Amino acid sequence: MKIIITGAAGFIGSAVCRHLLRDTGASIVCLDKMTYAAHPDTLAPLIDGDRAVFEPIDICDRAEVERVFREHQPDAVMHLAAESHVDRSIEIPGVFIETNVVGTYVMLEASRLYWAGLTGGRRDQFRFHHVSTDEVYGSLGATGKFTEETPYAPSSPYSASKASADHLVGAWFHTHGLPVVISNCSNNYGPYQFPEKLIPLMIINALEGKPLPVYGAGANVRDWLYVEDHATALVRILTAGVVGRKYNVGGDAERSNLEVVHAICDALDGMLPGKRPRRDLITHVADRPGHDHRYAIDATRIRDELGWTPSVTFEAGLRRTIEWYLHNQTWWQPLRSSVYGGQRLGLGAPE
Ligand code: NAD
């Protein structure tokens, strides 16, 4: 099986690539524009020019995307490329509309034209897997969980752009019959995450003794999933999911932002005892506009239909993540001086 993976150099895309190469016989075609969020050293070790090839292209460039389909003749597409940081979407929404909406449209059209030219079993087996977020559902109160039937109510330019993309994917299924699957996942954490997101930002700042900025009271609640568990869920959905269906993916690990930051501080205090507890570094900053209060995932469908459940608890995953950032400082140190790794560090924000 040959799979085009867009956003392959990013946090989740690269985890999917590592999983496919390590645990399956699939070959991969890695598409990535290499934005600020793509670290060159994340994907490079995987590319061997045989089972894994790299196409450094923009998914909005239709001619280039069509060339990639012609040259590589894929059996499936896993579409992860996106602008993914909520704070940036508030400041510069245009690029989110361009990549997340127009880029998804280009991927869908290129897939449709390519799929229309396939015959027999290859046509039947082709899949377009769109990877999306639980943020499309908007905010929950103190109770309840998002199911696949929850109506969309996105709050941020990021989540609105992802919701738009989800609807386009649905339209290409209903109108053209393109064999799609969509997944909506909660917040991921783990190795290789760009340190603009909550968990790596807090780990790195806590390591360096810098302030740990928490939005408002830190009471916003997210469900957290270890990235390698998301990668296995995505491949399960691609290979066994029902065409035209949506699957929610979650870690069954709801934590408030403050609980997450406390857990990081306490784990680091245990690993690297210092003079004063790292919780003292926490500073509360003005809340993000439109900040959703709570997200929680009902993952019954993927569990019952596809037999997938997360394998890593939040505590174990967090410990692995902290250890990874401790042992891979050469990966993240250069990012400290980049635009969103330096100037913007100070905005602690999940997804
Ligand atoms: P990321 O920002 O780490 O990676 C995105 C990748 O897409 C980067 O490598 C970037 O270079 C690439 N990219 C951006 N614009 C591109 C373009 N125009 N053409 C080609 N490549 C482009 O993001 P991530 O956290 O790995 O998220 C991947 C996907 O998963 C996104 O679609 C996101 O919406 C979704 N998602 C993320 C989370 C999470 O917690 N991180 C949760 C649920 C869903």
Which ipTM score applies to this complex?
0.99
The CA distance from 273 to 110, in Å, is 54
Task: Please list, in sequence order, all residues whose beta carbon lies within 8 angstroms of the beta carbon of residue 23, skipping any fewer than 6 positions away.
Answer: none
**14 CA distance to ligand 1 centroid (A)?**
10
Which residue of the set 58, 135, 229, 292 is catalytic? 135
Edge-to-edge, what's the strand order for the sheet holding 187-189?
A: 187-189, 221-226, 254-256
Could you report the per-residue pLDDT of 138-180, keeping only the tens digit for each?
A: 999 999 999 999 999 999 999 999 999 999 999 999 999 999 9
What are 291-303's pLDDT values in tens digits?
Answer: 989 999 999 999 9
337 band by pLDDT with thresholds 50, 70 and 90: low
- Domains of the chain, earliest start first: 2-194+226-253+296-313 (3.40.50.720)
Give the pLDDT band of residue 344 (cuts 50, 70, 90).
Answer: very low
* 351 pLDDT more than 70: no
What distance in Å separates the CA atoms of residue 348 and residue 86, rounded to the nearest whole number? Answer: 11
When pLDDT is averaged across residues 212-225 and rounded to a whole number, the result is 96
pLDDT tens-digit series, residues 54-78? 999 999 999 999 999 999 999 999 9
| pTM for this prediction | 0.96
Q: Is 135 a catalytic site residue?
A: yes
Which of 77, 84, 106, 314 is the pocket-test mutation for ligand 1 (most atoms within 8 Å of CB)? Answer: 84
Quote the pLDDT of residue 340.
47
Structure tokens at 225: 């999933």
Spatial separation of the C-alpha atoms in residues 218 and 55, rounded to whole Å: 40
Ligand 1 center–CA 55 separation, angstroms = 16
> Which has the higher per-residue pLDDT, 276 or 28?
28
Find the 203 Cα to ligand 1 centroid distance in Å. Answer: 21
- Confidence grade of residue 336 (pLDDT, cut at 50, 70, 90): confident
In angstroms, the CA 264 to CA 321 distance is 10
Ligand 1 lining (C-beta closer than 6 Å) = 6-7, 9-13, 31-35, 37-38, 58-60, 80-84, 99, 103, 131-133, 162, 185, 187-188, 194, 351
Q: Which pLDDT score, from 0 to 100, does residue 138 have?
A: 96
pLDDT tens for residues 233-257? 999 999 999 999 999 999 999 999 9
First to last CA, the chain: 31
Give the residue, by CA position, lying nearest to ligand 1 atom 32.
80
Catalytic residue flag (residue 134): yes
324 burial type by CB count under 10 A (0-12 exposed, 13-18 middle, 19+ buried): middle
